[in-house]
Structure 1
């Protein structure tokens, strides 16, 4: 993998290139898009990926304290408990062997027999609203930790604060597009790591943020650009106010 920006280099120290900033909580999103802006291919983001993208995806997981993800993405993408590649395991020194999933669901329409709940170590966190179905909430508590954030709908900003209070200062959001749009809308998106796949999709696939338009639009600055096998790996950070 080579670095194109901010300075050119033929080789890249990936853990250093994706290191979290020190001194404050930081929420990073990791997403992939086709060259024409599609967030999925045949219903899944995995179809847009490649070897280098999978390596970056594995690295950002290894660096994170927690992985924030929507319940629909867990179902569609077939999530399992996170496992860290051996090459990145030293990055977990002093922390649990893998970051927990924090799964956002208002309805709690979850398959609680799924390995993402039954086999997760550390224990999966489910983020929901106070008016979630009581019976479902009781069942969820048997297999996962629970954060109640909001009344009728999940308050994503409150959820992020609650995760930080639990010690998860390096947050990674893996989407999907609806959840990521909500994270941006409440002003919590500090960084976007975007893989641009050299594919054209067309059709009606959603963008990586799929929700109400941001008012005003959020300005991002390009901090880094890497390339391998025609894939571009951009790191955008939120511009100062």
Structure 2
């Protein structure tokens, strides 16, 4: 891994950047929600219906680092199904000391956002989680599914009906002390988080591929009335990938 922006100081034989330092959450922030997604050079967020075909070893290292720093990983119910989120975040020894010092549990919790609760509550994502998986839904979710969700673990109600109120969901997580948030999408969830005014940072992995054709972009939702402006904070590269860290201005 090589850091391009900001350019590291001499000497030229620089050590590889420490990802935990590069992606450290800002100190003193009451809440910080970052999103992490991968896209092809021409902007597609999926290859053959999922993001796995766009990823690579370096991208997975960044993903593991971001998960190792987070309190909660937000994912949409559709992403759980299409991306194969069958297992919880695993405990990684390299983050154990830092997490303990920060008062964090051994691994981040996954929070599944779903109004319909079309989720397999018997999957290892729920049954094998070291840090219990959270279900984020609405008050008028199907009652029988809501009962199963509550039996499986923590349920957070955010909104009376229809779609989950992402602003309320994020704020309630923060109120419980879980302030370091990571959104892994998909594009519909990320668009909703950004539209709700809760996105602080975008970690974008640009895969060295051209895909063309039709497919999802990074955000899938109504156009913003005013474009969201970003500031390029950090840029890394490895194996042809670019890893950009943008901060919302």
Query: Which residue in the other structure is 1:69 paired with?
Result: 75
Scaled by the length of structure 1, the TM-score of the pair is: 0.96
SS, match of residue 224 in structure 1: strand
* 1:37-59 deviation per Cα after TM superposition (whole angstroms, max 9, x unaligned): 01011111111111111000000
2:95 aligned residue (73, 88, 94)? 88
Q: Which residue of 1 aligns with 2:113?
A: 104
Task: List gaps (5 residues or longer) in structure 1.
Answer: none
Q: Measure how far apart 1:222 and its partner are.
A: 0.3
Residue 50 (str. 1) matches residue 60 (str. 2): no
Quote the residue 1:120 is aligned against. Answer: 129
Q: Distance in 2 between matches of 1:30 and 1:187?
A: 17
Alignment-derived partner of residue 27 in structure 2: 22
Answering whether residue 144 of structure 2 is matched by residue 135 of structure 1, we say yes
Distance in 1, matches of 2:8 and 2:58, equals 18
CA offsets, 1:118-174, max 9 Å, x none?
Answer: 221211110001111111101110002101101122100000001101111100000
User: Secondary structure in 1 aligned to 2:90?
Assistant: coil
What is the CA-CA distance between 1:100 and the residue it aligns to?
A: 0.6
* 8 Å CA contact 1:61, 1:84 repeated in 2: no
Post-superposition shift, 1:89?
3.0
The 3-state SS of whatever aligns with 2:235 is strand
How far apart are 1:215 and its partner, in Å?
Answer: 1.2
- DSSP-derived class of the 1:226 partner: strand
What is the deviation of 1:8?
A: 4.0
5+ residue gaps, structure 2, are none
SS across alignment from 1:218: coil
Taking structure 2 as the reference length, the TM-score comes to: 0.93
**Is 1:228 aligned to 2:249, yes or no?**
no
Shift of 1:111: 1.1
User: 2:53 is paired with a residue of what secondary structure?
Assistant: helix
State whether structure 2 residue 196 is matched by structure 1 residue 189. no
Q: After TM superposition, where is structure 1 displaced by more than 6 Å over at least 4 residues in a row?
A: none
For these two proteins, the number of residue pairs brought into alignment is 239
**Superposition deviation, residue 114 in structure 1:** 0.9
SS in 2 for 1:31: strand
SS of the aligned residue for 1:90 comes to helix
Distance 1:175 1:46 in 2: 13
Cα offset for 1:103? Answer: 0.5
CA displacement at 1:226 relative to structure 2: 0.4
* Contact kept? 1:2, 1:8, Cα under 8 Å: no
Output the CA distance in 2 between the equivalents of 1:105 and 1:158.
14
Question: Could you tell me how far apart the structure 1 residues matched to 2:132 and 2:93 are?
Answer: 21
| Cα deviation, residue 82, structure 1 | 0.4
Q: Does 1:78 align with 2:84?
A: yes
- 1:58-90 deviation per Cα after TM superposition (whole angstroms, max 9, x unaligned): 000000010011011111111111014333333
Q: What is residue 6 of structure 2 aligned with on the other side?
A: 6
Q: 1:91 to 1:45 in 2, by over 3 A?
A: farther
> What per-residue deviation string (whole Å, max 9, x for no partner) do you get for residues 77-109 of structure 1?
111110143333333223211011111000011
